């Protein structure tokens, strides 16, 4: 079995050397470890103030798609829902609340968020409904009549 070779040139002289792919993986591994060693959690970007994606459930029934997004602490005015063709887009912002004392720990994400979904079939855009109850945004996207299953009676 022939091994691949790589040509290198040094001082104008071309020479052949054996190429070992495992050396490349080892070099990449060492680079990754050194990069991770230079980063500490204190130098990581502040993920609590950047965009995030809310947790969602998508359910399909015979006549509609039902989407539920967890958006606790977000007001109706801070949400924007768009439907175009088979695409649903929800954008919004969880605003930072004013604090009196020193913030010792932050685990809840704040800032802008977006959620996008492409549905497997078309929807009736004019009949889309949305509700916000107890921090859960529920969106009902009805299917067109022609895409709903039809029951055929046997005679």
Please tell me whether residues 92 and 133 are part of one structural domain: yes
Please tell me whether residues 65 and 121 are part of one structural domain: yes
Q: Establish if 51 belongs to a structural domain.
A: no
Q: Is the pLDDT assigned to residue 1 strictly greater than 60?
A: no
Please tell me whether residues 129 and 62 are part of one structural domain: yes
Residue 132: give the domain boundaries.
56-96+109-147
The whole-chain average pLDDT of the chain stands at 81
pLDDT in tens, 72-103: 988 999 999 999 988 999 999 988 888 888 88
Mapping DSSP onto H, E and C, the string for 12-28 reads: CEEEEEECCHHHHHHHH
Q: Is the pLDDT assigned to residue 115 strictly greater than 70?
A: yes
Comparing CA positions, the residue from 30, 47, 32 lying closest to residue 111 is 47
| Alpha-helix residue ranges (DSSP H) falling in 19-114 | 21-38
E-strand stretches of 11-135: 13-18, 56-60, 64-70, 79-84, 87-94, 111-118, 129-133
Predicted pLDDT of residue 91: 94
CA distances from 140 to 22, 61, 67 (A): 53, 10, 7
Give the Cα separation of 56 and 70 in Å (integer).
6
Predicted pLDDT of residue 69: 95
Q: Is the pLDDT assigned to residue 49 strictly greater than 60?
A: no
Distance of CA 90 to the CA centre of its chain: 12
pLDDT in tens, 10-22: 565 555 667 777 8
What number is the average pLDDT over the span 132-153? 88
pLDDT in tens, 51-74: 678 899 999 998 999 999 999 988
Predicted pLDDT of residue 21: 77
Please tell me whether residues 37 and 87 are part of one structural domain: no
Please tell me whether residues 90 and 122 are part of one structural domain: yes
3-class DSSP state of 126: helix
Please tell me whether residues 80 and 113 are part of one structural domain: yes
pTM of the full structure: 0.62
Give the Cα separation of 89 and 51 in Å (integer).
15
Please tell me whether residues 25 and 87 are part of one structural domain: no
Please tell me whether residues 35 and 73 are part of one structural domain: no
């Amino acid at each position: 079995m022939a091994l691949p070779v790589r040509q290198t040139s040094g001082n104008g002289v071309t020479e052949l050397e054996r190429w070992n792919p495992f050396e490349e993986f080892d070099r990449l591994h060492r680079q990754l470890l050194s990069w991770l060693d230079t980063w500490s959690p204190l130098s990581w970007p502040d993920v609590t103030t950047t965009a995030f994606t809310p947790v969602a459930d998508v359910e399909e029934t015979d006549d509609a798609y039902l989407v539920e997004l967890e958006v606790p602490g977000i007001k109706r005015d801070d949400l924007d829902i768009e439907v175009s063709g088979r695409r649903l887009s929800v954008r919004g912002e969880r605003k930072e609340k004013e604090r009196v004392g020193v913030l010792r720990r932050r685990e809840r994400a704040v800032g802008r968020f977006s959620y996008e979904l492409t549905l497997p079939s078309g929807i009736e855009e004019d009949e889309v409904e949305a509700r916000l109850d107890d921090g859960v945004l529920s969106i009902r996207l009805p299917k067109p009549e022609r895409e709903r299953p039809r029951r055929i009676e046997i005679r």
